[in-house]
Amino acid sequence: MPPRDTSTKAAPPISGKRTLQRLRREAGYRSARDFAAELGIPASTYSRYERQPEGPGMAVPLSAAWAIADRLGCSIDLVVGREDIDAPDEHPVQSRYDALSGAGRALVDSYLDFVEQSEADGPRPQGRR
């Protein structure tokens, strides 16, 4: 009879980037237990959310995902792994431009055309005012 293997094997790493854990820590919650208490859910339930692989199969109930997003000050898409935590933020000017009316966008576009043309024409001499 061959000898039994009594060594302990490491569990395979959980796939995903552990976004939920990272968000929690960045928000100042050192332990999952403390954060679960803030949410009013069992620590074992919240710990399960952190251990799950991210993406479409992540089984965090919608009400819990909203509560987590609200507490962490982030989007629900980030909580459930639909948004990449390491993706560069959209340039703040773009979101402001997107919020403008059609007339406002046309005004900004015409100003940008003016600035681009001014730069293409070269620097203007600095004279007295």
Evaluated on CA atoms 65, 70, 71, 77, the torsion sign reads positive
What pLDDT was estimated at residue 25?
92
- pLDDT score at 6: 46
Query: How many other CB atoms are there within 10 angstroms of residue 56's CB atom?
Result: 8
pLDDT tens for 3-35 read 444 444 433 333 345 788 989 998 999 999 999
18 Rama sector, left if φ>0, alpha if ψ -120 to 50, beta otherwise = left
Question: Domain 19-79 maps to which CATH number in 1.20.120, 1.10.260, 2.60.40, 1.10.3470?
Answer: 1.10.260
Residue range 42-64: mean pLDDT, rounded: 85
Domain positions in the chain: 19-79, 92-121
What confidence tens digit (pLDDT) does each residue in 64-119 have?
999 999 999 888 888 887 777 766 666 678 778 888 899 999 999 999 999 999 88
pLDDT of residue 103: 92
Residues 14, 53: contact at Cβ < 8 Å?
yes
